[in-house]
Amino acid sequence: MSVKKLRVMVAKPGLDGHDRGARVLARCFRDAGFEVIYTGCHQTPEQIAAGALQEDVDVVGLSCLSGAHRYLFPEVKRLLVERGADDIQVVGGGIIPEQDFQALRDAGIAEIFTPGTTLDSIVEWFNTHVQPRR
């Protein structure tokens, strides 16, 4: 009786204590039946990447409202790739200006969710684009 559960890490990189969004999403993922590893605020990209590997997650969701996403998001992705985990998808959310989307996508960020995105559509994206234990 084998079941495949989606494992998601929700993390807040950098100096940003606004975690309401991250918590709402963690809760929403729980309700969608995912296993959520929530690591809280003020994480370095190194901590997030190391945690993602130890926890064997399928996807890392980063929340950033400080404006430092252009550095922080790609750095997490880079560290994962460097450690041989290019299969772990990285998605981001928060206050992200549209003109930054392309740069983030080019750096390997799979999707960006900005304010106003419904929880349902985020869960739907996860269910469509992320396979547990590929």
Partner 1 sequence: MRTASRLIRCLEDGEEDARSAMKYLFPFTGRAHVVGITGSPGAGKSTLLDGLVESRRKIGNNIGVLAVDPTSPFTGGAILGDRIRMQRHAEDPGVFVRSLATRGALGGLSKAVGDAVHIMDVMGKDMIFVETVGTGQQEIDIINHSHTVVVVLIPGMGDGIQAIKAGIMEIADIFVINKADRPGTSKLHRELKALLDLAAPTSFHNGWRPPIIQVEDAFKPEPFGKSIQELSDTIDKHYQSLQEHECLRSRLHRKAETELKEAMQVCIMDTIFEGLISSGEEEMMINEILNKKSDPYSLAKGMAERLLKKHH
For the beta carbon of residue 121, count every other beta carbon within 10 angstroms.
Answer: 10
Residue among 14, 16, 26, 65 that touches partner 1 (CB under 8 A): 26
Binding mask 70-89 for partner 1 (x = CB under 8 A): -------------xxx----
Q: How far is the CB of 79 from partner 1 (least distance, A)?
A: 11
Give the residues across from 61 on adjacent strands.
10, 91
Of the residues 22, 36, 59, 65, which one makes contact with partner 1 according to CB under 8 A: 36
Phi and psi (nearest 5°) for 48?
-65, -45
Binding-site size for partner 1 (CB under 8 A) equals: 34
- Binder to partner 1 among 15, 20, 46, 120 (CB under 8 A)? 46
As a whole number of angstroms, the distance between CA 10 and CA 7 comes to 10
Closest distance to partner 1 from the beta carbon of 30 (Å):
4
Q: Given candidates 22, 37, 104, 112, which one binds partner 1 under the rule CB under 8 A?
A: 37
Q: Is 69 helix (H, G, I), strand (E, B) or coil?
A: helix
Q: Is 53 in the site for partner 1 (CB under 8 A)?
A: yes
- What is the Cα 72 distance to its own chain's centre? 11
In degrees, rounded to 5, the angle at the alpha carbon of residue 52 between the alpha carbons of residues 43 and 122 is 85
